[in-house]
Amino acid sequence: MTSPRPPAGGDRAYKRSWKNLLINKRYQLRFTLFMVGLSTLLICGLGVWVMRVADETTAVSMASVRGTPCPRIPVLTEVAVEPPAEPEPAVPMRLAEPGDPPPPPEAPAGDTANEDGEPDEPASDGDGESASEGADEAPRRITVQIDESSMMMMPVAPKVPEDFATRVVAHWTCELRLDAKIDRLERGRMTILWVLIATGLLLVVGLALYGLKMTHRVAGPLFKVSLYLAKMRDGRFDKVWNLRKGDQLVEFYEHFRTAHAGVVQMEKDDIARIEAVIAAAEAAGAGDLPTVQELRDLLVRKEKSIE
């Protein structure tokens, strides 16, 4: 475009209003929607790509975390078997026959019988003492005692290693740490997703508003020029005011002002010529002629048009 000419009009303050933001729907929406649509497309396309890679990374990291070895809990089924000092002779089992004297009470080794020769209560007694208490003193093997019609099995408590508690704590600490890591990875993946969605929404809304505002700075001057064009079409050549601050198409507007000024000048030239003819006709005594009256009417119309 050619260089602008100096402004000739005055300055009248028109303020922008949100209500008037969309004044040229076709132009403004086309450019804004293109911008918003493209950004949405980019964010969605690349966002899906980002999420795919993030899923892949999370899966790899989770597998890595799951593969991290934790200290194991020691197995409690192991029993320290101490060989007996000397093997006991095998006693053949004999069933009591009628007429036999009752067998004397056998005093087995250890605490299977008390001082009165009566057998101990099995496992736990009424005082709540556990079997493990007695197990510390008893030989660590299963003892089967057959006493006439009853058979009693005494369980052997496993041996608890000295660092058992430490190892259990270490195991579960490690397991919990790994779980926390996996949880953190999953949360990281979700954070990426939410950040993408939030950024996308903010960007789309922000761009839509900015796009409308930006195109409004072009549509505004066009709207203003359109109003003047309508007036010029109806034969009214009002004063042309300046654009608002921040409006675009300043050079274009200057072109319009020069055109407007040119048309006004045409009218003024006509007025000057017509006035001269009317004055000369009146001076010559021909002021009453219908042609001169027509010229007066034309003059009035032209003068009114540039008021």
Partner 1 sequence: MSDPTVATVPPSGAPRPRYKRKLSNYLLDKKLQLRYVLLVTVLSGVIAGALGYLIYQQKRAASESIEKDLAALTMLDDSQEDFQQHVASGLASEDRALVYKMIGVGVGLVVILSLYLLVMTHKVAGPLYKVSMYFDRMAAGRLGVVTPLRQGDMLQDFYANFKEMHEAVRARASADADALELAVARLREAKNRADYRGEAQSQLDEALDQLAQHVAERKKNLS
List the interface residues with partner 1, window 240-299 (CB under 8 A). Answer: 248-249, 251-252, 255-256, 258-259, 261-263, 265-266, 269-270, 273-274, 276-277, 279-281, 283-286, 289, 291-292, 294-295, 298
In whole angstroms, the minimum distance from the beta carbon of 282 to partner 1 comes to: 9
| Closest by CA position to 36, among listed 218, 198, 247, 212 | 212
Residues 15-74 that bind partner 1 (CB under 8 A): 24, 26-27, 30-31, 34-35, 38-39, 42-43, 46-47, 49-50, 53-54, 56-57, 60-61, 63-64, 67
Residues 145-164 that bind partner 1 (CB under 8 A): none
Residue among 134 and 278 whose Cβ is closer to partner 1? 278
Residues 79-138 that bind partner 1 (CB under 8 A): none
In whole angstroms, the minimum distance from the beta carbon of 300 to partner 1 comes to: 13
| Closest by CA position to 24, among listed 161, 222, 160 | 222
Residue among 40 and 132 whose Cβ is closer to partner 1? 40
108, two tokens: 């087995």
201 sits near partner 1 (criterion: CB under 8 A): no
One symbol per residue from 207 to 246: x for binding partner 1 (CB under 8 A), - otherwise; what is it?
x------x---x---x--xx--xx-xxxx-----------
Residue among 152 and 299 whose Cβ is closer to partner 1? 299
272, two tokens: 């000057």
In whole angstroms, the minimum distance from the beta carbon of 152 to partner 1 comes to: 52
Residue among 190 and 286 whose Cβ is closer to partner 1? 286
Residue 224, Cβ density class (10 Å: 0-12 exposed, 13-18 middle, ≥19 buried): buried
Residue among 48 and 142 whose Cβ is closer to partner 1? 48
In whole angstroms, the minimum distance from the beta carbon of 35 to partner 1 comes to: 5
Cα separations (Å) of 228 from 58, 269, 294, 296? Answer: 63, 21, 28, 27
| DSSP string computed for 54-110 | HHHHHHHHHHHHHTS--PPPPPTT---PPPPSSPPPP-------TTPPPPPPP--ST
- Sorted by sequence, the CB contacts under 8 Å of residue 207 that are 6+ apart come out as 32, 35, 36, 39
Residue among 120 and 238 whose Cβ is closer to partner 1? 238
Cα separations (Å) of 214 from 144, 217, 289? Answer: 96, 5, 59
- Sorted by sequence, the CB contacts under 8 Å of residue 199 that are 6+ apart come out as 43
Cα separations (Å) of 50 from 23, 62, 80, 220? Answer: 39, 18, 58, 40
In whole angstroms, the minimum distance from the beta carbon of 221 to partner 1 comes to: 10
Q: What is the dihedral of CA 177, 181, 183, 187, to 10 degrees?
A: 150
In whole angstroms, the minimum distance from the beta carbon of 75 to partner 1 comes to: 25
In whole angstroms, the minimum distance from the beta carbon of 290 to partner 1 comes to: 8
